[in-house]
Every structure is written in structure tokens, then in C-alpha cells.
Structure 1
């Protein structure tokens, strides 16, 4: 018999029951459901809504159920629809009639809103740790490749010389912002909805602040309709995870290019590559390709969640049951992608010689040649034009800029002196870019130090939150 069956004269159709049930998805919130129920029952006992001894018996029963679920001694049933009714039914079976007082002064609407917030708060902490693990890998690789020269690209064309460390630090900055977005999401998620009831609170003299403090929320939600009817915190997390996956996908695309024979900038470890069933010579970057592919999955979950919520009148609607499958999938997907991707980057070999060799063509020091003339007194537009003529000549003669004689340089402009060769030396081109945010090893050292400090500070903050 359903816990809500009093008004009904027929049993629910079996197919409808299966269609209505969410236990296959929300079972994973059993610990959070019990945690919230214990806080609730202690509060209603303290407020005199139920007797203290009744509250104690219910709490003992809930703790016993938690232990038995973890030990595999209890199983969930679709007959009981969701995690909340499964646990309440188990409690009634365990301690008898007094268990029916557990649900006093609350609704499944505010119960599920509470459970998913507690659950996702924990997952955000897990995600933040994985981002910090990624940042540690980038820090190590950055320190190892502080002087590894490589071409920087725009439009997938060689553009200007940088270092591999500088390139990796670009991703470290992106992941920092991903971390901060999760922090912001956590802050807004950290409001306690329990006590909102079905939509209009309750006539019982409950103490919501007490529950808020026990469950370590920052504040109590101050509108009961909002408390049960919005899922913007789920949407915000789904959005933050989509942006994070976009960064991982871009990084994946570059890894895929870098380990191709055409680039040969890196070699992936055998443990993070796969082979071909027909071509024995192949070593495929499947990890990076899967991360790139799973990005679409996380995007799809975000669009699904937005679509679910877009037309719902206040307050709660059953449509909102569909939020959990999609946000849980996004969280699971991002966690495995971060974990595997970080290990792939950590174990890959960097072919430093090939990166530097790639700087020899493509005229990636052309901007430095133009800047040389500007520093000698020529306007930038004129210097840009002269450099273009020199590059055209070099292409025609199949030369790089360093191979052009001083006499030939002077045919384009008398401004050139012997020091032009120092100005267009690839390594000097990088070393001289000492502007804040630039690729010079001197400047990248500062960024590496900042990254190290970021990791230490955020790791300490996370430990405090984990309690």
C-alpha cells in the first residue's frame, strides 16, 4: 500500500507505477535523505511537535537503515517510487508505527529539494578536488617545459613563438575560472529549503534555523514557493560543467593534433592510448577523443534541464523529477573525464626538439622583424608593409628570415643593421616578451608561482569545507 493511498480506491496501474518511479535514479541520495531526516526529526522533537523518546527511536532506526543499506542488507523497491518513500517504508518495517511521525511538518517537495542540494554540494567538493589535481599536473608540466619553445597558432596557422609552459598555463587559467564558477554555484546552492513544505510551509512551530545549522547551510530560503519550485542551482551547475567540458574538449583537440605524425609534439603513454583491430601500427588518442565526444553529452544534459524548467508554473511539478538523471550524469561524466585526462597529460612525453624545430618555418618571427623597424623609428604600418615584402621574397627564395643576408635586408630598408639577427632569433623573440601575461620564461615563472599558491589556498579551503 502506498503511503499516500488514503484518497485512492484503486491500486496504481503497474506500468504507471514503473513510469512514475524514480528510485533507479535517486537511490544514490539515500545517505543525504537519511541525513536530512535525522536533522528534521531532531528538530521537531526539540520543538515539542513529537516526543523526545519518539524522536530518539526514529533517529536510531534511521541510522540502522543507513548501516544496512551500506552493507547491502536492504534493497530499494519500485513499488515505493522514490528514495524518500523507500526509506520511510523501511523505517516503518524496522521500528513500527512511530516511524510514521517522521514526515510531520514536511513534504516530499521540500525533502527532495533538500536532498539534491546536500548531494550536489558534496559533488562540487569532489569536482573541485579533481580540478586541483589537474592544476597540479599542469604546474609540473609547466615547470618542466619553461624553456620549451613551440609555435603559437591563430586560425590553426603558425603565428608567433611561445613556450609550451605558456600554452599549458592558458589552460590552467581556464580551469581556475571553472573552479571559481563551482565555488559561486556552491555559494548559491548553500541555502536550506526544508520547512518550505509542499509550497506554503506549515502550521507546526518548527525551527528552520536549527536544521540549517545542523546541515551546515549558510542560510534558510526565505520564500517557500521558491524553496520547492526552482532548480536554478541545478541549471547553474550543469552550465558550469558544460563550460568546464568545453575547456577539456579544446585541450583534447590539441592533444589529438599534437600526437599526430604531422605534429609529433607529444607522445601519449601506452596506458592512455589504444590500438587498432586491423592496423597494427596505430596508437590512438582515444581518451582525448572520448572527452571531446562526451562534451556533447554534458551540453545535452544542460539543454534538457533548461527545457524541462522553461514552462513550469509555480510551485512543484512532477516534471522536475527528471532533473536528477541529467545532472547526475553530467557530474559523473565530468568526474571521470577530469580524472583520466589529468593522468593522460601527466604521463605524456613532450618532444621538445620537434616543437622547437617547428618554429623554423612559418615566419613566426615576422612580427618581431616589424617591431625591430618600429624601434628604429619607422611607423608600424610601414614596418608591417616592408616585412610583408620580405616574407614574400623569402617564400619565393625558399628561405627563412634568418637566412636572408644583411645586404638583402638593406635593399628593403636602410634601417637594418647587424643587430636584426638578434631581434629575430626565435628564443630571443620569446625571452623579450616580458609583459604581464607574456610567454617569456621570466614572466611564466611568476604565473607558475601564482598557480602553486592557488592550489595551496584552495586545497586548504576545501579541507575546511569537508570538515
Structure 2
């Protein structure tokens, strides 16, 4: 019986019907996995080189395959290639282009390879490159935070716990907190890189191949640390996608927390920061509005990245071992997370350095305030007042100030002595 499956000649030998157009559309991933084109071609070139080295195909055939793939890569990079939905994915689109480029020799490229280990390879190559870019963006963000540290040195402002004024802090230390967060993010990304940087190619569909391939050669040429020894794990592992998605969620949490601070600080109630016109928007109705859309969008996109993490976890949670078509769902969430993280980090630095922190308003908020209470308590402790007694004493003087419409700075010695003989001198040390 002749084969009539025109949609996928690569696997249609045992089929007698053409694939239904709805099935073709539903099955296809080329609408999003086109992003893997460069890595698919690179991996295929090294695979062809290995096949030639091992005598599985002739060296002349390997050279033609590599040259043809190079030509396709150039066309893809120039945007002159149109991919086909009927060819399902980027792997078959590239192979079909190669068939047109070099003829029937292209049919030998897939020797000792499955799309299962091929896509696992492409994803690792893609994510490895993207992680390195994200690390560079985080490093640039850290430089911008350090610039702000130097610009606003020794600027006092209220520090908050429970969103209530707690103790005075320095603005440079506020920026330093986010430097610490981003440094941890870089550390986590580097850890993720270490674990993903192993080559799955040569695992085949799941059980490897009896052909005399050289997996170590391929791994070295593709700049991997080594190969994934267990072939079943090689094709079915998506830990690196889950780990990256988790790290990305933490990065977005840090960006979202910073954004929330800026949104609050930019309000009239705080007036701690002034938004630059180049990074703010107005209202279509209210002429007075100047909206912090950039930090609001970053805050909103945080939930999107969280959703992508939950998505890949849900895909993986009940998969039987080996490759399953469910794994096609690993890509859109991964690509979206990468694009979202990069977009947020790319705008973070110019947005941050455009902000005008209102130093006078910040410092004014530390005056005539009870945020010096802990400092006052510690001054009493230095005078050998037991901590619990000092804590109670300061609490009572605060209550007195509230009832008397006063603050620490306006208390006289007589009032202070009523609470403690050390109180007035302690207040003088804080304010003078």
C-alpha cells in the first residue's frame, strides 16, 4: 500500500492517510520554536561533522551538509526564510530547506539522531545563551544601583516595617539591598548554567544508538561540560527549564518589590521621588496625572512569569518517563519568561537613573518623628538602663508626646527627667 501522508514524509511510511488540517495546525510548533533556528543549525552542523569523522557518512557528504546549513543560517538571520506549518517544527523546516539546498544528501543528516534529543539540545543551547545575556543585564542594573548610591550618599529617610515608619536608614543602603538581591540572582543563574550545560545529543529517542557516534566530540564542539550519560534522562529532563523559571520568578519578585516602593514614593502622600517625563505617562481624562506606568508594568509582568513557572511545573508533574508530546508545552512559557525578564531588565537601568529622589523631603520625614525611638532606647542602655526598662521608658515618653502634641526634640529637661535622668542627655546626642 502506498504512503499518502503528505504532511510529514519523515514519519509517514506506516500511515495511509494524510494528516487532517486541524491536526497539522494543532500539532505544529513552528509558530514559536522558530526561535531555536540558529541553535538547531549549529547543533546539526556539529552532528554532521561528527558523522563524517566517524565514517558514518563520507567526509564529502558531511562538508556539503555543513555548507548547506551555513547558507540556510545566513538566510534565517537575514529574515528571508518562510517556515511551513505543515512541517510541524523548526527541525523539519530546517531539514526541508537543506533538502532544497543540497539535495538527497540532506536525508542523511538525521542519522543517529531523534527529534527528542535534537530539541533537548536546542533548548539547552538557547537557554545557555539567554542566561548569559540576562546576567549581563543584571550586572548593568547593579552598576546603575551603585551609581545611585554614590549620587545620594548620606541621604537619610525613614525605613519601614509593616509599612510603618520604623528607623532612619540611608538611601545608599536601600540601593545596597537590591544590589545584594541581584547578586544572589546572578549566583542562582550561574548555578542553573552549571547544571544545564551538558549535552543530550546522541541519546536518540530515549535508548541511544548502536551506530559508532562520538558524543564527547559533539559536546566539546558545542562547548558543553560533558554529556548526559543516561539517555532516558537526556530526552525527558526539563529540570533546567523549571529551575530557570524559578530563578526568573525570584528576579521578577525583586524587580516588583523595587517597583512597588517607587510607585508609593512617587505619590503625593510620600513625594520621595519625582518621575522623569520620559518614563511616565498622563491620563486621557485628568490633566494633573503623572502615572508610574513603567514600575506598574514590571509589577504586573511579575505575575506572568509566576504563571509560566506554574505552567511548566504542571506539565512535568505527572509525565511518565521518556519523551512525551506534552513537552512541546515547555517552549512558549520559557520563551515568554526570557523575553519578559529581558524587557524588564533592559528598562530598569535607564528608568532608575532617570529618577529624582527628593532628598529634602526624605530627610524632613525623619525629623519630628518617633523613628529615633530605637536610637533613644539604645542611648539609655549605654547609660546602664536595663533594656526592658529602657523600652518601657521610651514607650511612655512617646505616649506623652502624642498626648501633648510634642516630639522628642521639643521636650525640655524637666519633662525628660520625669521619665529618666538619662533621657534628656540621650535626646541631645540624637539631635545635636
The equivalent of 2:31 in structure 1 is 24
The equivalent of 1:74 in structure 2 is 81
Offset of 1:396 from its aligned partner?
1.0
The equivalent of 1:393 in structure 2 is 400
Let me know the Cα RMSD of the aligned residues: 1.0
SS of 2:208 mapped into structure 1? coil
Offset of 1:193 from its aligned partner?
0.4
The equivalent of 1:234 in structure 2 is 241
Offset of 1:408 from its aligned partner?
1.1
Task: State whether residues 28 and 88 of structure 2, in contact with CA within 8 Å, keep that contact through their aligned partners in structure 1.
Answer: yes
Task: State whether residues 408 and 427 of structure 2, in contact with CA within 8 Å, keep that contact through their aligned partners in structure 1.
Answer: no
Task: State whether residues 25 and 85 of structure 2, in contact with CA within 8 Å, keep that contact through their aligned partners in structure 1.
Answer: yes
Offset of 1:415 from its aligned partner?
2.8
The equivalent of 1:377 in structure 2 is 384
Offset of 1:417 from its aligned partner?
5.1
SS of 1:365 mapped into structure 2? helix
Task: State whether residues 30 and 89 of structure 2, in contact with CA within 8 Å, keep that contact through their aligned partners in structure 1.
Answer: yes
CA offset digits 1:352-382 (Å, max 9, x no partner): 0000011124400001111111110110000
The equivalent of 1:194 in structure 2 is 201
Q: Does 1:90 align with 2:97?
A: yes
Task: For 1:420 and 1:154, locate their aligned partners in 2 and report how far apart those are by CA, in whole Å.
Answer: 23
Number of positions where the alignment pairs a residue of Structure 1 with one of Structure 2: 425
Task: For 2:75 and 2:258, locate their aligned partners in 1 and report how far apart those are by CA, in whole Å.
Answer: 44
Task: State whether residues 110 and 228 of structure 1, in contact with CA within 8 Å, keep that contact through their aligned partners in structure 2.
Answer: yes
Task: State whether residues 52 and 59 of structure 2, in contact with CA within 8 Å, keep that contact through their aligned partners in structure 1.
Answer: yes
SS of 2:370 mapped into structure 1? coil
Q: Does 1:368 align with 2:371?
A: no
User: TM-score, normalising length from structure 2?
Assistant: 0.97
**Among candidates 274, 289, 298, match of residue 291 of structure 1:** 298
Please, which runs of 5 or more residues in structure 1 have no aligned partner? Answer: 429-467
Q: Within 5 Å, which residues of 2 pair with 1:24-423?
A: 24-416=31-423, 418=425, 420-422=427-429
Task: For 2:234 and 2:225, locate their aligned partners in 1 and report how far apart those are by CA, in whole Å.
Answer: 15
Task: State whether residues 360 and 400 of structure 1, in contact with CA within 8 Å, keep that contact through their aligned partners in structure 2.
Answer: no
Task: For 2:77 and 2:195, locate their aligned partners in 1 and report how far apart those are by CA, in whole Å.
Answer: 30
Offset of 1:407 from its aligned partner?
1.8
Task: State whether residues 412 and 424 of structure 2, in contact with CA within 8 Å, keep that contact through their aligned partners in structure 1.
Answer: no
The equivalent of 2:3 in structure 1 is none
Task: For 2:237 and 2:298, locate their aligned partners in 1 and report how far apart those are by CA, in whole Å.
Answer: 31
Offset of 1:73 from its aligned partner?
2.6
CA offset digits 1:169-194 (Å, max 9, x no partner): 11110111011111111110101000
Task: State whether residues 106 and 198 of structure 1, in contact with CA within 8 Å, keep that contact through their aligned partners in structure 2.
Answer: yes
Offset of 1:340 from its aligned partner?
1.1
Offset of 1:419 from its aligned partner?
5.1
Offset of 1:68 from its aligned partner?
1.4
Task: For 1:345 and 1:73, locate their aligned partners in 2 and report how far apart those are by CA, in whole Å.
Answer: 38
SS of 1:418 mapped into structure 2? helix
Task: State whether residues 368 and 409 of structure 2, in contact with CA within 8 Å, keep that contact through their aligned partners in structure 1.
Answer: no
Task: For 2:424 and 2:406, locate their aligned partners in 1 and report how far apart those are by CA, in whole Å.
Answer: 19
Task: For 2:77 and 2:153, locate their aligned partners in 1 and report how far apart those are by CA, in whole Å.
Answer: 48
SS of 2:169 mapped into structure 1? strand
Task: For 2:427 and 2:265, locate their aligned partners in 1 and report how far apart those are by CA, in whole Å.
Answer: 32
CA offset digits 1:220-242 (Å, max 9, x no partner): 10100000001010000000000
SS of 1:151 mapped into structure 2? strand
Offset of 1:145 from its aligned partner?
1.2
Q: Does 1:8 align with 2:15?
A: yes
Task: For 2:357 and 2:421, locate their aligned partners in 1 and report how far apart those are by CA, in whole Å.
Answer: 42
Task: For 1:241 and 1:417, locate their aligned partners in 2 and report how far apart those are by CA, in whole Å.
Answer: 51
The equivalent of 1:447 in structure 2 is none
